[in-house]
Amino acid sequence: MDVIPFNRPYTTAHATSAMTDAAERGHLSGDGHYTKLANSLLRALTGSHRVLLTTSCTHALEMSAMLLGVGPGDEVIMPSFTFVSTANAFALRGATPVFVDIRPDTFNIDERLIEAAITERTRAIVVVHYAGVGCEMDEITDIAARHGLQVVEDNAHGFGGTYRGRNLGTIAPLATLSFHETKNIQCGEGGALLVNDESLFEDAEILREKGTNRSRFFRGQVDKYTWVSLGSSYLPSDLLAAYLVTQLEEFDEIQKRRMLVWQRYRSDLSSWAASAGFSLQHCPDDRNHPAHLFALIAPDLASRQALIAHLGDHAIKAVFHYVPLHSSPVGRTFGERHLPVTDDISDRLVRLPLFPTLDERQLDRIVSAVTSFG
């Protein structure tokens, strides 16, 4: 029996030809023809007017921390139920991540707990749209405005999702995207920074270009470029950008295929889940998710582990998700946190295979295996 993997990166029919064309153009470093084309497509798809392609979502988050001037002694509020990059980006600048519990329905940071975590040292709030289900952004931005804080959207899961009619990644001053091979749109490794606050864009360009005003030079705004600020190299190769362009051009088709898989799971597993003591992540009616992942919440840790093993016996790869950052060896160095919902969801969540090329035969196998559990 063939193994159904948890993820299989989608490759478009013309990915190879686009990368060959990029090589033949003779500009393999960053900001070439395909980088500019990718930026243009991302602007159209997200609605963000300022997009900078980066080597990863991690680097886009690091740029966000630097652009906000986060440094030693500062605190940054964020969920613990996230990938380590969310915290690393700010901890690398000397700041302290302050972990806040998540909601039991959407698995996003609980906006009702944020204000109690704010101190005189708080500089920013980082939200993570888990599975592309939007956080309570109106409430969070109101809290930030009252306390003079900045908000960053870690939108690694949410490209294509919406919140009350607005695209995720366009609500906060800064937002990040991931194009890792596990994401809906991917180029192996890659990311983007969406700069929604125009006053931050020139600094973002300089930061991304090793601290030089090189971008202004190529636009003819200065007669030579030089080192004007601290920065680093966050530019992906134009070869990767060429691959990414082919994905962005097929964005609608990729999303359509993923949504069909997600909807099949939802329709065929909802009744079974209710009878078996499992539950599903909630997506409020005023937002849309991009079918990034499909999660089942088991009654307890033992049931979660048993389901993963059961699916493995049927040659189906299912996985759990984040180990909470607050309970990790490094996370504990920033202070002890009691986050019961985060710990509970982390123990009970299992993710089913979800990728665009899952076919009906494979979906039948997965649904049959899940519903035979217990």
Question: Which CATH number covers residue 68?
Answer: 3.40.640.10
- Is the pLDDT at 195 greater than 90? The verdict is yes
In this structure, of 116-130, 208-222, 245-259, 275-289, the range with the lowest mean pLDDT score is: 208-222
Q: Which of 220, 180, 222, 208 is nearest to 52 (CA)?
A: 208
Question: Is residue 216 over pLDDT 90?
Answer: no
State whether 182 and 256 are in the same domain.
no
Question: Which of the four pLDDT bands, split at 50, 70 and 90, describes residue 260?
Answer: very high
160: CB partners within 8 A, 6+ apart: 45, 132, 168, 184, 251, 255, 290
Q: In this structure, is residue 8 part of a structural domain? A: no
Residue ending a domain, choose from 226, 250, 274: 250
DSSP label at residue 221: S
Same domain, 314 and 327: yes
The answer as to whether 5 is a domain residue is no
The sign of the CA dihedral 252, 82, 191, 41 is positive
Residues 246 and 260 in one domain: no
54 and 194 together in one domain: yes
- Structural domain boundaries, residue 49: 15-250
pLDDT tens, residue by residue, 20-79: 999 999 999 999 999 999 999 999 999 999 999 999 999 999 999 999 999 999 999 999
CA angle 94, 100, 101 (to 5 degrees): 150
Strand order in the sheet with 150-154: 51-54, 191-195, 174-178, 150-154, 122-128, 75-79, 96-100
310 with 270, same domain: the answer is yes
Q: Assess whether 110 and 175 both reside in one domain.
A: yes
Please check the confidence at residue 159 and state whether its pLDDT lies above 90: yes
- Whether residue 231 sits in one domain with residue 269: no
Q: Do 271 and 191 have their domain in common?
A: no
Is residue 115 within 8 Å of residue 75, measured between CB atoms?
A: no
Q: What is the pLDDT of residues 320-358, one digit of tens each?
A: 999 999 999 999 999 989 999 999 999 999 999 999 999
Q: What is the value of pTM for the model shown?
A: 0.96
Same domain, 183 and 39: yes
Asked if residue 10 belongs to a domain, the reply is no
CATH at residue 315? 3.90.1150.10
Question: Alpha-carbon torsion 177, 178, 182, 188, what sign?
Answer: positive
In a domain, 183, yes or no: yes
Q: The tokens of 175 are what?
A: 């937002």
SS3 248: helix
Task: Report helix, strand or coil for 329.
Answer: coil
Asked whether residue 281 falls in the same domain as residue 362, the answer is yes
